[in-house]
Amino acid sequence: MSGGGGGGLGAGFSYQKFVHVALEQTRLRTALAPHPSQEKFKFIKPNEDNTVLNALSFSAPKIRLLRSLTIEQKNSVQVLDFAAFSEPEYDLPIFCANAFTSPARSIVVLDLNPLYDTTEHKDYRGKYYRNLMPLIHKYSELLPWGGKITSESLRFFSPIVIWTILEPTEANHQVLYSAFMDYCKVWLELMDEAVRETSVEKIDRNREAQHKYLTWRAEKDPGYSLLKKLIGECAAKDLVREFLFEGVDSLGTKSFLEYFPEYAQEDGTVNKKRSMIGKSFESRPWDAHGQFIGDAGDG
């Protein structure tokens, strides 16, 4: 359908298909029920006529929240923000698929974000990522490391993260689709196999870890400024706290600064900077076994 070869953002380019197929795959394994947040955000109206927003959210047994947001501006910007969070009774990673595509480039993060930092928690790394390292070999050539990145983001990424910046061609879009489906299916398999935790202490720990993640993203997500531009500051704030990162106001009571005190300013407010440390990691900071090597690989 997309007009002619040659790459670029053809008319047929859309992340809607990603969402559609991911939901189809999920329904093969579990029963999705509409999440309460869906009502309020389903028909959210952008400021500009040429922009279409699509917001869907569900829950299911084991899945606290599975939600997606797509933004489509005819022949210009295309956005995908897809995530799935388990109930705190499970320590499942968070399925995270984010893509921001402009005519110039696609900025992509695709990962099973760890609930626990995989450098500190080797057992967690072993449990979920050891067997998944082949995914990185499969895509490292076509979806290469995107270069320096906000340093703070790294602790929310796993050794199998795909962080890449691509030319928005049809071919790259196909590769991205394939990787998205692989990661989605892997997450669904992990979800299927997950065994309910019974220790209250461990459940509380899982809940807090998810809350910390939600707190980070609700405050510092790179998409926030575009959302403000598209739907206004108030609606963007609601969308972020009640839809994209729903749970940030209910899963825990700690504040952003309690989790991330390095962002505190003298007057007690949160520093608006995205990063206190700056960007780093020119190349993939994990080795083939998922061991963190930091910037060691750089020349």
Note the residues at the interface with ligand BLA (CB under 6 A).
71, 79, 81, 96, 98, 100, 107, 109, 113, 149-150, 153, 156, 217, 222-223, 226-227, 279
Radius of gyration of the chain (CA): 19
Give the Å distances, CA to CA, from 74 to 20, 27, 47, 52, 77.
19, 30, 14, 9, 7
Residue 94 C-beta: closest distance to ligand BLA, Å? 9
Closest CB to ligand BLA among residues 106, 206: 106
Residue 150 C-beta: closest distance to ligand BLA, Å? 3
SS3 35: coil
CB of 142 within 8 A of CB of 175? yes
Closest CB to ligand BLA among residues 150, 178: 150
CB of 66 within 8 A of CB of 59? yes
| Gap between the Cα atoms of 129 and 190, Å rounded | 11
Residue 195 C-beta: closest distance to ligand BLA, Å? 26
Bridge partner residues of 230 (DSSP) = none
Closest CB to ligand BLA among residues 194, 226: 226
Sheet order of strands, 33-34 included: 33-34, 51-60, 63-73, 78-86, 94-101, 106-113, 162-166
Residue 83 C-beta: closest distance to ligand BLA, Å? 9
Closest CB to ligand BLA among residues 60, 109: 109
Closest CB to ligand BLA among residues 71, 179: 71
Residue 268 C-beta: closest distance to ligand BLA, Å? 25
Residues with Cβ < 8 Å from 258, sequence gap 6 or more?
none
| Gap between the Cα atoms of 252 and 235, Å rounded | 23
CB of 67 within 8 A of CB of 246? yes
By beta carbon distance, the residue nearest ligand BLA is 223
Residue 5 C-beta: closest distance to ligand BLA, Å? 27
Side chain identity at residue 293, one-letter code: I
Closest CB to ligand BLA among residues 26, 153: 153
Residue 200 C-beta: closest distance to ligand BLA, Å? 28
Closest CB to ligand BLA among residues 71, 132: 71
